[in-house]
Structure 1
Amino acid sequence: KPSPRWHGIFISATHCGAGCALGDIIGEWLVFLTGVAIAGAVLWPEYIIDFALAYVFGILFQYLAIKPMSNLSARVALSQAIRADTLSVIAFEIGMFAWMALVFFVFFPHPHLTPDHAAYWLTMQIAMALGLATTYPVQIWLVSRGIKHAMHRPMLPAAAKPG
């Protein structure tokens, strides 16, 4: 029985979120460990580094999904990955960055939370959930326009056998 359309779109959104989350986690630690700040705030380099790493990992994950399933050259597959995931990553990061700004400026203005505290990662989990929520409508749009394909659960050999 084929899964409903929303399953594939949700899996696509979580696939995007995985690349973004990995980039964001690495980026947060890089900023924390280097102590870099812009205009006296670590939030601005977090945005820059998190986005750059999220984009790289998001495109890499998309490329690794496209290339093995196609006869495309590496260059064309990379181009397709960029086309399929750029808006997804941007949407994810917008949701995440909005929450990060609230945490930084409103909820914990001084002292700011830092990655060496559990509460920081709780707020980042909320940020990532919001990123997933903001990328989901973009996934629907990309899939409906044929720019991106909905992903489906892999069938395990044991699950594929009847009876």
Structure 2
Amino acid sequence: MGGAIGIHIGPVMACADGGSTGGVDPVRNGGTVTDAFMQLLQLYRTLAAPRKDPITPPLAHFPGWFAVVATTSLLLGAACAVWVALDVVRRPQPMRVMAVVWPVTMLFGGLLGLWFYRAQGRAPRAGQEPSGRQTSLAASVGTGTSHCGAGCAIGDLIAEWLAFALPAVAVLGGWGWLFDDPMFAVWVIDFVLAFVIGIGFQYFAIAPMREQSAGRTLRDAVKADAASITAWQVGMFGVMALMQLLVFPVLWGGRAAVDSPEFWFAMQWAMLAGFATSYPVNWVLIRTGIKERM
């Protein structure tokens, strides 16, 4: 999202020798296999050849104290995630997917997320009876929002590191043919992965509760979480844009690289913003019965 990507995706030239097809025409309009192959290559050239030189934004020069703050926050989130991951083994969640949701939530929620988990999400030990306490609507919405956000967080993690390791992946998101700045292209991939994984999480939340076909469950999952995932990504992208395009350049001369603690520290705040923008949407979805209470 914020790392500088300095490669140039240029046109690809290739050739293929035509041959006899044995009297069978493999292309509907009468062309040959070679013609079809060359058409695909031409399509690739059109998409992969940038309209202008890609933007290579400068990287920020962060002060030491900010690096310490960022690293401390990330380590704290990781420690909370490990603690919760071990705790859900000792205290199995009634809804299995939450055994993944809660540790992922800790990565950006930190101590605040840990407090919420212990107060509202922690299950009794195996063999113990549930406490029987009534969960408030506000707490149920918070859990549902965390469930939505965990899928978004995993999608963002995959997209950012994938684009960092293989910069050409950004072409799939529009780099060079839709966006000159690779950051925006990676955001497209972020959104797609976050949406797919988020809907998957919702699918596995609904499936155990309803005896219905997989197709119906998938439709219900999309209906329940499409709006909340979109709202989460709006908040997350908004804060990352603010940090990468304004705050970091003004204060420290550039953007944070994906492989820096400062980038993921900003992402923690962006995820909290995503929680804030998605919470009211989840409230409406749960209050109207479109989404199940958790």
- TM-score range relative to shorter protein: 0.7 to 0.9
The letter of the residue matching 2:190 is: D
Residue-by-residue CA offset, 1:25-82 (whole Å, 9 max, x unaligned): 1111122222234544222112101100000010000000001111011000000000
Q: In structure 2, what is the equivalent of residue 155 of structure 1?
A: none
Contact kept? 1:143, 1:149, Cα under 8 Å: yes
The letter of the residue matching 2:214 is: A
Runs of 4+ in structure 1 off by over 4 angstroms are none
Q: In structure 1, what is the equivalent of residue 18 of structure 2?
A: none
Secondary structure of 1:23 counterpart: helix
1: CA distance, partners of 2:188 / 2:259 = 20
* Aligned CA-pair RMSD: 1.2
Q: Does 1:113 align with 2:253?
A: no
Q: Greater helix percent: which structure?
A: 1
Q: Gaps (5+ residues) in structure 2?
A: 1-132
- Work out the percentage of aligned pairs sharing the same amino acid: 41
Q: How does 1:73-152 map to 2 (within 5 A)?
A: 73-109=213-249, 110-151=253-294
Question: Which one scores higher on RCO, CA 8 angstroms, separation ≥ 6?
Answer: 1
2: CA distance, partners of 1:67 / 1:149 = 12
Q: In structure 1, what is the equivalent of residue 161 of structure 2?
A: 29
The letter of the residue matching 1:76 is: R
2: CA distance, partners of 1:103 / 1:11 = 27
Taking structure 1 as the reference length, the TM-score comes to 0.88
Larger Rg: 2
Secondary structure of 1:116 counterpart: coil
- How many residues end up aligned between the 2 structures? 151
Contact kept? 1:32, 1:114, Cα under 8 Å: no
2: CA distance, partners of 1:72 / 1:42 = 42
Q: In structure 2, what is the equivalent of residue 11 of structure 1?
A: 143
Q: Gaps (5+ residues) in structure 1?
A: 152-163
Moved more, 9-18 or 22-31: 22-31
Residue-by-residue CA offset, 1:126-161 (whole Å, 9 max, x unaligned): 00000001000000011111110121xxxxxxxxxx
Taking structure 2 as the reference length, the TM-score comes to 0.50
